[in-house]
């Protein structure tokens, strides 16, 4: 399912990025090689992160995946 129509990011892309390291919503796009535009996907991405990241894990300080 596409969760970010501005960047054509799928829910599986977000879940895979979050599985490799704990992320904040604002870090997801950079980790996937793009930038947020409208921000309309933030709530959905937050839900995916909440369901993917282990409880109590601290988000990464930065992502240098590019
Ligand atoms: S839908 Fe993700 S930035 Fe627009």
How do the domains of the chain map onto residue ranges?
2-52
The mean pLDDT value for 31-57 works out to 89
For ligand 1, the distance from its centroid to the CA atom of residue 36, given in whole angstroms, is 6
- DSSP letter at 4 equals E
Any idea what the Cα angle at residue 5 is, between residues 52 and 50, rounded to 5°? 15
Confidence at residue 66, expressed as pLDDT on a 0 to 100 scale: 45
Q: Is the CB of 26 under 6 A from ligand 1?
A: no
Residue indicated by tokens 């990464």: 60
Q: Is the CB of 39 under 6 A from ligand 1?
A: yes
10-12-13-19 Cα dihedral, nearest 10 degrees: 150
Record the pTM: 0.82
Confidence at residue 60, expressed as pLDDT on a 0 to 100 scale: 59
């Amino acid at each position: 399912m596409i969760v970010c129509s501005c960047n054509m990011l799928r829910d599986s892309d977000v879940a895979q990025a979050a599985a490799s390291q704990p992320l904040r919503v604002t870090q997801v796009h950079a980790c996937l090689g793009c930038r947020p535009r409208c921000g309309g996907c933030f709530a959905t991405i937050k839900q995916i992160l909440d369901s993917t990241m282990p409880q109590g894990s601290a988000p990464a300080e930065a992502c240098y995946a590019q």
